Structure 1
Amino acid sequence: MKKILTFFTIMVVLSTLKSSAQSTLKEYKAGHVFYISLPSYMTKTMGLNESSIIQYKNAVKDVYGFVIEDNKEDLAIAELNYGSLEEFYDYFMSVFLKEAKKKTIGKPIYTTKGETRFAEVEITYYDEDIKAEIYYLAGIVETKTSYYKIISWCAGENKDKYKTDFQKIIYSIRD
C-alpha cells in the first residue's frame, strides 16, 4: 500500500511539473518610479486626490498640489492614444474644472528640455463655497513613458508669492 501511495504521489508531482514547464512567462514591471522636487516648506500628504501618485501641501501657507501619472502603455491598452503633448493638454483642459462657472484660463506655455516636453497654464476661478478666488498652475509633462498632470494651487491673492515655486515643481519632473 505504501508503494502504491508513493508511486501515486511521484506521478502527481511529475505531471504537475510537466504541465507548468509548458507555459512561458513574460515579466512585467509594476509601478512607476519618477522624481519630483518640492519646496522645503511643503510636505507629502494624503486626501487631496485619490488618483494621484504624490500629494503635497502646507496648510499654514494654504498651498496644495498633486501629481497624476498616465502611463502611455496603459493609455494605449485603454485605446486612449494621444498624438502629442498638445493633444493630451487639450483633453485635460476639457475636463479640468469643467463645472466651475467663473474661471479664467491663460494661454499655455510649451517648453522642451532634452526629450521631455512641458506645458503650463494659469487658471483662476471663483469658488462660491469659500467665497474666494483660487489660483492654479497646471502643468502637463510628457516623457518617453508617461504624461504627468501637476496641479498646484493657492488663494488667488497669493498667486505672485507661489507661482515660481509651482513652476519649479513642474519642471523638476523626470522619469
Structure 2
Amino acid sequence: MKKHLFITIITAFLLLSCGDSKEEIQTIKIKGLYSIELPEYLTKTTGLDNSASLQYQNTLREVYIMVIDEPKSKLEKAIKENALEDYYTPDLDGYAKLLNEGIETRASLDSVPQLISKKINGLNAKTATFTGNSQGIDIYWSLAFIEGKNNYYQVMIWTLADKKEQYKETMKAMINSFKETNKSKK
C-alpha cells in the first residue's frame, strides 16, 4: 500500500513539473507613450541607463531590457546642429544607423549588426541581433529601433552570450509586443 501511494505521489509530481512551462507575462505602460509585455521574472530597476523610460532586469537570470524614447524633432535638431546631413537622414533609417554605429564603438562585436526592416504592431521598425564583448563579458543583444507618430523608440535587450538559445525567443516576443499608445499619437 505504501509503495502504491509513493508511486502515485511521484507520478503526480512528475506530471505537474512537466506541465505548461509558459512564463507569466506583465504588461508595462510607460508615460502614456507605449506598452510592452515582459516576463514577470523581470523587475523594475533604475541603474541601466538614466535616459531610459523603461528599465527592467533579472540579475540571477542575467536578462536586461531598457527602452529609450526620443521626440523625432530631437533627431532632426541633432543632425542639423552637428552638420551630419551627409551621413544620416532625419528618419527611421538615419536614427537606426546613428545608434547602430554608436553600439559598434562601445562594444567589440563579433560582426556588424545587420538591420532588418519590419512592422511591429503597425509601426515601422529596424531590428538586429548580435553578439559581442563588453567590459570583458560575452553578450547577446536583441534590439529594435521603432518609429512612432511623434517619437522614436530604442528597445535594447541583452543577456549573456551563453544564454542566447535560452532567451532569444523571449527577447523576440518582448520586442514584438511593443505598442505605441493612443496618447502618444496626438
TM above 0.5, yes or no, is yes
| Partner Cα separation in structure 2 for residue 74 and residue 45 of structure 1 | 26
Identity level (%): 25
- Deviation of the 1:78 alpha carbon: 4.8
Alpha-carbon distance in 2 for matches of 1:157, 1:92:
25
- Tell me the residue number matched to 2:9: none
- Greater Rg by CA: 1
TM-score, reference length from structure 1: 0.71
Task: Sort the Cα spacing of 1:115 and 1:128 in 2 relative to 1 into closer, same or farther, 3 A.
Answer: closer
RMSD between aligned residues:
2.3
Q: Tell me the residue number matched to 1:60.
A: 60
Q: Any stretches of 5+ residues in structure 2 without a counterpart? A: 1-30, 81-87, 181-186
Query: Aligned residue pairs: how many?
Result: 143
Structure 1 position 106, deviation (Å): 3.6
Give the one of 85, 94, 99 matched to 2:101: 94
Mapped to 2, the partners of 1:85 and 1:78 lie a distance apart of 14
Per-residue deviation at 1:73? 3.3
Residue 150 in 1 paired to residue 155 in 2? yes
TM-score (norm. length: structure 2)? 0.67
Query: Which runs of structure 2 are paired with 1:1-175 in the superposition (5 Å)?
Result: 33-78=33-78, 82-113=89-120, 115-129=122-136, 132-175=137-180
CA contact (8 A) 1:105 1:124 kept: no
Q: How far, CA to CA, are the matches of 2:93 and 2:37 in structure 1?
A: 24
Q: Deviations over 1:104-163 (max 9, x none)?
A: 23422211256411211112112453xx41111111111111111111100101111111
* CA shift digits 1:64-93 (9 cap, x unpaired): 110101111344455668443222111111
> Of Structure 1 and Structure 2, which has the larger fraction of its residues in strand?
2
SS of the residue aligned with 2:169?
helix
Q: Partner of 1:96: helix, strand, or coil? A: helix
